[in-house]
Amino acid sequence: MEKPNKPGGLEGSPAAGIAASTIETGSIPDELWEAAVNNDASYDGQFFYAVKTTGIFCRPSCKSRPPKKENIRFFRTADEALSAKFRPCKRCKPTGERLPDDEWIAAVTEYIDRSFTEALSLDHLAGISHGSPYHLHRTFKKVKGVTPIEYIHQKRVELAKQLLLATDKPVGEIGMDVGISNTPYFITLFKKKTGRTPASYRQRYSDHRKEATEHGKQD
């Protein structure tokens, strides 16, 4: 930590150059200062900055008002900021647990599995899972291979298939049961996913099932 930071060495890679455990005020690399002023989230986890006048420290992405440069201190970890007697910002919660992507997405998936028959939007999911819609969309896709909306559609179509075969409910009602109250939209989505309309799916596969049952009886 005695080594002065060379701003040149930090270029191109946010993670690479920030090796010092505490970054002394005298040698604030422009890169860190810029990141803090611009609320650059790609630096979150790389460093924290504290404001001497308020005694509070933040993540780089914190939307709080930018401090004066002479009042700022940089830390490599939240623990170091805490031991220097700074308090975590209530807004960006720099000591808050950050869920690894997999756990985060598992929690969102669980929520969808429980509630996909209700109206669900990406904004709503982002709200309950404490992320931005954009970030959730991207991370979900990265972890599960499909977007949250595609996943919801899959769940709805799967349930619709079951209901079509297990009940005599009209197609519109089944649409509503699986969370899609707009019947034409339900039919379009179902066809897109299965290659058949709900009515044709029901006919095709319940006939199949009936035949199988009858054969079963005969044998």
Q: How far is the CB of 136 from Zn ion (least distance, A)?
A: 21
Amino acid at 83: S
Q: How far is the CB of 73 from Zn ion (least distance, A)?
A: 14
Residue closer to Zn ion, measured from CB, 23 or 56:
56
Contact at 8 Å (CB) between 197 and 190? yes
Residue closer to Zn ion, measured from CB, 49 or 116:
49
Decide if 62 is catalytic: no
Vertex 43: Cα angle to 3 and 65 (nearest 5): 105
Residue closer to Zn ion, measured from CB, 91 or 208:
91
Spot the catalytic one: 58, 62, 89, 92: 58
Residues that bind Zn ion (CB under 5 A): 58, 62, 64, 89, 91-92
Q: How far is the CB of 24 from Zn ion (least distance, A)?
A: 21
Contact at 8 Å (CB) between 100 and 142? no
**Are β-strands 72-75 and 22-23 bridged in parallel, bridged antiparallel, or unpaired?**
antiparallel
Three-state DSSP class for residue 207: helix
The number of helix segments (H) and strand segments (E) in the chain equals 10, 5
Residue closer to Zn ion, measured from CB, 51 or 160:
51
Q: How far is the CB of 62 from Zn ion (least distance, A)?
A: 3
Number of residue whose CB is nearest Zn ion: 89
Query: CA-CA distance, 207 to 4, in Å (whole number)?
Result: 77
- Residues marked active site are found at 58
